[in-house]
């Protein structure tokens, strides 16, 4: 594949990362002026523990970044992961220890509240560290920027000056969008009280934009004159977002559907400041298993650690790639399918034409952190098949047991020879222990099902050593099609096998399962079912 071929294919690709990257090509047909890098930004509010909803924004933005680089033959780019840690804490998250410590500091900037975990300088520093730890683990290339650092150091003073100069014009944008009661207290600038340290929602009079001097009434009724610079204020959310775009020169930022109005108003404000609204994608929000929006404060979404306990890094990236404009549920039940689909797409990659490769999620995921398109290899056993095997072995199954059975099915079955499969075994053991084993319950076969099971046992007994999965599957098929056993469809036969042998309403391709589990062991399962 030549670079020119890739560029030409990328310019017409309908894969969503390329469609987003094409917006940037229209923004800068000749590249960004002066050869400056195109700046991508992701935003994060560290008011609660990071979850997949925060991580996905960095991944998806990186996918667009890499697509833009491919589209332009390697134009320079930067990615800034921005933490809004000057924001005042509005409520105490439900999933945080030492809640009374946070309650005593409500309203203060997140970076000036003690860490309830006792491990970092502040609550924001703790949550920022968690986010960075995972981004580093995944290999993202990014620059971390803290709002507190920029406000406190004076790094935003020039942009704050511009906001103060445009104070009335910004009010003209925002006030028509607010309820009458809110208009009375709204100010683009939120001063930090010199007495309590709380971020105040009070009217502010701008005295001198050049020095940042503002006037407001403190919580105790005292009229205060102080500078807005040096961390003595922050901006209202929509103004803050626009100021950040202006100060950093952001060219691309995506966000969730819940921020649609913010994008509109912040886009108007950044124009008032003299900047330009970035390009971006508005994506649908993740839902929990009950169809409710996931929330950092409720803690009802999966954490990154939970996904990686019951799934793999590759499956996480795959799930986040798919259909960003469609709402998707985010719970443990979606992980097995994501693991298997990732490897299906991975296996297809090498044999695909270039235009098909650019539409393959794995092509994008492999390139996200500087890799290439990969060799199109796959794993020898599906995750769903592993789950069925381990389900039969029980809640106390061990990795050693699993690898012993994998020896029936996989050449050179060892974690060292198959690292990707080893990761799947680890995740499958955890999933079985915590979610599957407690629910499995084998039922007794009906009389007709018992006859079919006896037939299966008799045929398995006559097989030569090491039958193939296909040979075993054909035996299962033929028994199911035998009218003497009364199955209306093959589906009824398979369901009977799953429920009587595996204790589950769903299951794997039985030929593959028998080959993996072993013919003698499968005959023992049949004997146990017939005795029940």
3-state SS, one letter per residue, for 328-346? EECCHHHHHHHHHHHHHHH
pLDDT in tens, 94-134: 778 999 999 999 999 999 999 999 999 999 999 999 888 87
Residue 188 lies in a domain: yes
Residues 25-56 pLDDT 10s = 999 999 999 999 999 999 998 887 667 777 88
Q: Kindly state whether residues 13 and 106 are assigned to the same domain.
A: yes
- For residues 508 and 522, give the distance between their C-alpha atoms in angstroms, rounded to a whole number: 14
Q: What is the per-residue pLDDT across 424-436, written as a single tens digit (0 to 9) for each?
A: 999 999 999 999 9
- Asked, for residue 265, whether it belongs to a domain, the answer is no
Torsion (CA) 141, 143, 147, 153 in degrees, nearest 10:
170
Question: What pLDDT does residue 421 have?
Answer: 96
Same domain? 461 vs 416:
no
The pLDDT of residue 291 is above 90: no
Other C-beta atoms lying within 10 Å of the C-beta of residue 404: 12
- 518 and 496 inside one domain: yes
The answer to whether residues 38 and 130 belong to one domain is: yes
With beta carbons less than 8 A apart as the criterion, state whether 433 and 395 touch. yes
Give the residue from 115, 136, 153 where a domain finishes.
153
> Would residue 372 count as lying in a domain?
no
> Do both 59 and 111 map to the same domain?
yes
Question: 366: which 2 tokens?
Answer: 């492999």
Q: Is residue 419 part of a domain?
A: yes
Instruction: Indicate the pLDDT class of residue 243, thresholds 50, 70 and 90.
Output: very high
C-alpha dihedral (306, 311, 315, 320), degrees to nearest 10:
-20
- Rounded mean pLDDT of the chain? 93
Do both 43 and 119 map to the same domain? yes
Whether the per-residue pLDDT at 415 is higher than 80: the answer is yes
CATH code, 475: 1.10.10.350
State the pTM of this model.
0.90
Distance from C-alpha of 300 to C-alpha of 286, rounded to nearest angstrom = 11
Q: What is the rounded average pLDDT of the residues 3-27?
A: 96
Known binding residues for ATP: 296
**Does 130 fall in a domain?**
yes
Query: Same domain for 124 and 106?
Result: yes
3-state class (DSSP) for residue 233 = strand
Residue among 413, 424, 44 nearest 253 (CA)? 44
Flag whether pLDDT at 301 surpasses 80: no
pLDDT > 90: percent of the chain: 84
The residues near 187 (Cβ < 8 Å, ≥ 6 apart) are 201, 202, 203, 204, 216, 236
Count of domains for the chain: 4
Are 98 and 125 within one domain?
yes
Angle, helices 510-517 vs 519-531, to 10°: value is 110
Can you give the residue range of the structural domain that contains 415?
A: 383-439
* Structure confidence by residue, pLDDT tens digits, 357-368: 999 999 999 999
Split at pLDDT 50, 70, 90, the class of 138 is: confident
Same domain, 15 and 114: yes
514 shares a domain with 390: no
Instruction: Specify the pLDDT at position 122.
Output: 95
Please check whether residues 40 and 126 belong to one and the same domain. yes
Q: Could you tell me the CA-to-CA distances from 212 to 215, 229, 234, 341 in Å, in that order?
A: 10, 6, 12, 55
Distance (Å, rounded) from C-alpha 149 to C-alpha 85?
9
For residue 200, the domain's CATH number is 2.30.30
| pLDDT value for 299 | 59
pLDDT beyond 80 at 221: yes
> Are residues 193 and 137 part of one domain?
no
Residue 344 resides in a domain = no
CA distance 333 to 153: 46
Q: Residue 42 domain-assigned? A: yes
Please report, in range form, the residues annotated as the binding site.
Answer: 296
Where a domain ends, among 439, 458, 474? 439
CATH, residue 70 = 3.40.50.620
- The last residue of one of the domains, among 415, 439, 463, is 439
Residue 112 lies in a domain: yes
Confidence class of residue 186 from pLDDT cuts 50, 70 and 90? Answer: very high
Confidence of residue 278 (pLDDT cuts 50, 70, 90): very high
């Amino acid at each position: 594949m030549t670079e020119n071929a890739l560029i030409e294919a990328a310019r017409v690709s309908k894969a969503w990362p390329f469609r987003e990257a094409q917006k940037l090509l229209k923004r800068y047909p000749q590249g960004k002026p002066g050869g400056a890098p195109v700046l991508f930004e992701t935003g994060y509010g560290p008011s609660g523990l990071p979850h997949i909803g925060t991580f996905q924004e960095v991944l998806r933005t990186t996918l667009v970044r890499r697509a833009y680089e491919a589209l332009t033959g390697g134009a320079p780019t930067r990615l800034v992961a921005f933490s809004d840690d000057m924001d005042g804490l509005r409520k105490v998250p439900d999933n945080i220890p030492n809640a009374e410590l946070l309650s005593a500091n409500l309203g203060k900037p997140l970076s000036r509240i003690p860490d309830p975990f006792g491990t970092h300088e502040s609550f924001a520093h703790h949550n920022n560290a968690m986010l960075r730890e995972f981004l580093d683990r995944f290999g993202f290339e990014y620059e971390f920027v803290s709002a507190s650092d920029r406000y406190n150091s004076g790094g935003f003073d020039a942009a704050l000056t511009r906001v103060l100069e445009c104070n009335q014009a910004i009010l003209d944008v925002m006030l028509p969008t607010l309820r009458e009661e809110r208009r009375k207290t709204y100010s683009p600038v939120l001063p930090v009280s010199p007495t309590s340290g709380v971020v105040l929602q009070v009217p502010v009079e701008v005295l001198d934009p050049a020095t940042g001097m503002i006037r407001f009434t403190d919580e105790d009724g005292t009229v205060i004159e102080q500078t807005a610079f040096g961390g003595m204020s922050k901006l209202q959310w929509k103004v803050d977002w626009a100021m950040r775009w202006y100060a950093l020169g952001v060219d691309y930022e995506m966000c969730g559907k819940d921020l649609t109005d913010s994008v509109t108003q912040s886009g108007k404000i950044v124009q008032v400041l003299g900047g330009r609204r970035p390009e971006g994608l508005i994506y649908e929000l993740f839902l929990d298993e009950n169809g409710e929006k996931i929330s950092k404060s409720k803690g009802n979404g999966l954490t990154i650690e939970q996904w990686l306990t019951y799934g793999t890094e590759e499956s996480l990236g795959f799930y986040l790639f798919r259909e960003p404009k469609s709402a998707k549920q985010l719970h443990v039940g979606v992980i097995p399918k994501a693991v298997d689909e990732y490897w299906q797409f991975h296996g297809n990659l090498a044999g695909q034409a270039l235009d098909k490769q650019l539409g393959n999620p794995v092509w994008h995921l492999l390139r996200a952190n500087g890799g290439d398109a990969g060799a199109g290899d796959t794993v020898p056993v599906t995750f769903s098949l592993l789950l069925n095997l381990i389900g039969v072995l029980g809640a106390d199954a061990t990795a050693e047991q699993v690898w012993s059975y994998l020896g029936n099915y996989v050449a050179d079955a060892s974690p060292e020879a198959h690292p990707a499969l080893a990761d799947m075994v680890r995740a499958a053991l955890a999933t079985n222990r915590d979610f599957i084993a407690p629910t499995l319950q084998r039922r007794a076969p009906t009389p007709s099902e018992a006859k079919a099971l006896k037939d299966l046992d008799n045929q398995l007994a006559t097989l030569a050593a090491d039958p193939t999965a296909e040979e075993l599957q054909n035996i299962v098929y033929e028994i199911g099609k035998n009218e003497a056993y009364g199955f209306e469809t093959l589906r009824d036969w398979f369901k009977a096998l799953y429920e009587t042998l595996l204790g589950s309403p769903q299951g794997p391709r039985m030929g593959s399962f028998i080959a993996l589990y072993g013919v003698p062991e499968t005959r023992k399962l049949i004997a146990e079912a017939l005795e029940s």
